[in-house]
Amino acid sequence: MDRRRFLRTVAVVGGGAAVARALAADRDAPERRPSAARGKKSETARVALVRAADRAEGVRRAIELLELPAPKGKSLFLKPNCNSADAFPGSTHAETLAALVRSLLAAGAGRLTVGDRSGMGETRRVMQRKGILEMARELRFETVVFDELGADGWVAKQVPGGHWKRGFALAAPALSADGIVQTCCLKTHRFGGHFTLSLKNSVGLAAKVVPGEPYDYMAELHGSPHQRLMIAEINAAYRPDLVLLDAMEGFADGGPDTGRRIAPGVILAGADRVAVDAVGVAMLRHHGTTAAVSRGRVFEQEQIARAAELGIGISSPEKIEIVAADATSAEYARAIRDQLLA
């Protein structure tokens, strides 16, 4: 029995055959919408789980477990968590970003661009303090600071039946790439989001203010009683090809910049944001978290429930296939699946 088949045999938690979404899939679909928006729903969603002492090795192994086709020659936009310049897990760890960039370039990616909009700081300064601008010179990728985009750098979006008063706007450099890759952190969110994983990380793709327009979209978001639903709705306007969640450490309360630290020692990867976030919430519950994140079933959390309703990802925990890297990872994954199904 070869190594790949062995891993599938002993380290898959959950059932059903899963097909990982390809980095190059469905490029002709309008506005890079999720599969459900095209009248199709994936029956299962694979989430790779790796417990690792070495962050870069964990990133490499998690991506390998997904068995994605190589993005040869594709332009990729990479969205990290640069909400603030706070140390990990308040923002993306430099080693995680570098490992992800190296993995994508080694797989044959073409032009690679890293960009974001900070919510708790001036973005260029945040990216500078996090070492991203220096890393770009070393690893030869491009950067874009969303704060500096003109009016033509934003694309207006509407979600039918959504809770945004006048829609929202997403950064054109991300939408124009051949593929979008996202890397996020494991943490709670004390300002109304309850948790900030991959769905919440998408808020950084949206404009606070579009130049020439007086409207403050982020003031609307953070002042709305529908904040968690609106977070999910941003995700209906685009689809990432890969999500990498760095859970080597996390905030089990507080967040997004500071909080009580936990150390799961885990890297997660997947293409389905609902599945990745559901596993992330289950991890927070496993380690003990806030009353808001602990309330109800995982798929009753508003971000996840609304995203599933919109067809952004799978609709129930039974449809999540956690693929573990080894026996140690599989043992942890079984505990997380128990939380998912509770």
Which domains are assigned to the chain? 3-341 (3.40.50.11440)
The pLDDT score that the predictor gives to residue 305 is: 98
Q: What is the pLDDT of residue 42?
A: 52
Q: What is the mean pLDDT of residues 274-299?
A: 98
State the average pLDDT over residues 187-196.
Answer: 97
Provide the mean pLDDT of the chain: 90
Say how far apart CA 329 and CA 26 lie, in whole Å. Answer: 32
CA distances from 266 to 31, 46, 52, 191 (A): 32, 16, 6, 25
Is 80 exceeded by the pLDDT of residue 339? Answer: yes
Residue 254 has pLDDT above 50, yes or no: yes
Tell the residue number behind the tokens 């997947």, with chain if given: 270
pLDDT at 124 over 60: yes
The model's pLDDT over 23-61, given as tens digits with 9 standing for 90+, comes to 333 333 333 333 333 334 458 999 999 999 999 999 999
What is the structure's pLDDT at 10? 33
Enter the DSSP assignment of 70. P
pLDDT at 330 over 90: yes
Dihedral in degrees, nearest 10, Cα atoms 85, 88, 91, 96:
120
